[in-house]
Amino acid sequence: MGRNDERENTLNQLLVEMDGFEPNKGIVVLAGTNRPDILDRALLRPGRFDRQIAIDLPDIKSREAIFKVHLEGLKLSTEKTIPEYATQFAALTPGFSGADIANVCNEAALIAARYDKTSIESVDLEAAIDRVIAGLEKKNKILTKKEKERVAYHEAGHALVGWLLPHTDPVLKVSIIPRGKAALGFAQQLPEERYLHSREYLHNQIIVLLSGRAAEEHKFNEISSGAQDDLEKVTNLAYAEIAHYGMNPKFGSLSYTEKNSQGYYGKPYSDSTAEIVDSEVFQLVEKSYKEALRIVQENKEKLDEIAQLLLKKEVLRNEDLKQILGEKTKAPDQHPKLATEIN
């Protein structure tokens, strides 16, 4: 209240310049932001920024076109043409923005130069995607034998459960190479281009996220702090399902978001309702964890096989998992074309 900071001054100056009293005909003011949710509504009234164009993340065809633009100026291996490279890596980068794709191409050039290559190969682009998703590979982060085994079983749990549940995305790669600040390993899935998610899909995602910790408990009879990132995602998904998407029978078709249609924040529910939400979230997560533990225990031989192969190779791909687990279990509405795009 009563503040006089740079943001308020900028807002006031924008409103003054766009007040409509000066005869500034033929002038169009354009602006862009990646945080439209925090804009002052006075800016969006008629006569000001009254035309909004939402630019979503590119779909697979758009990513292919963006790849063609950024690959054009790079020296690529002759094993494939630029359109072939673009088609292959557009399928492997769902959710990437144009800036992410440009970053992938730049990183691939740096990786190729680091190994004194004369051209960029597919492996360099794949390594660049890993770099963008999970961070820089930390070759100097040495894990003890026990820590490495724990990470291997954690990631094997994700891969196993993600492969066996029907309403999940295909597992593309599993790695136990440390990356970034905290990532000791990661399991990369390849999500489909979808805009709507069923309750079964959300449930399966929660189970997959909890399966790493379930594998640790099964193998070592204890849990570690390595599942923090997974638990944060589980918490967000569970609260979204219960309180935002109207998928809980106790609340019916209600969405308890804290922002109303006028853009103002506030709790639209009572403290007693909040307690019920917390209770439902806890029950959902507990039930999902027990399911993850059940799947891990019923497939413990496969879990051991994946973990031991991970300890040996450090990186497993879709083909390696297919040899151990067979064809991935698919829900009836999943598209078989993804398997072709992965390969």
Residues tagged active-site: 155
Neighbours of 116 (CB within 10 A): 6
Tokens of 19: 């007040």
Burial class from Cβ neighbours inside 10 Å (0-12, 13-18, 19+) for residue 281 reads buried
Sheet architecture: strand order including 171-175? 186-189, 171-175, 315-317
Rounded Cα distance between 108 and 126, Å, is 8
CA angle 93, 94, 100 (to 5 degrees): 55
- If residue 186 lies in a helix (H) or strand (E), which one and from where to where? strand 186-189
Q: Answer yes or no: are the C-beta atoms of 108 and 132 closer than 8 Å.
A: no
Rounded Cα distance between 154 and 228, Å, is 12
Helix axes 318-325, 145-164, angle to 10 degrees: 70
Q: Answer yes or no: are the C-beta atoms of 207 and 286 closer than 8 Å.
A: no
CA angle 298, 315, 180 (to 5 degrees): 110
Q: What b-and-e string marks burial along 147-162, b requiring 16 or more CB atoms within 10 Å of the CB?
A: ebbbbbbbbbbbbbbb
Tokens of 32: 């862009």
What value does the CA radius of gyration of the chain take, rounded to a whole number of Å?
24
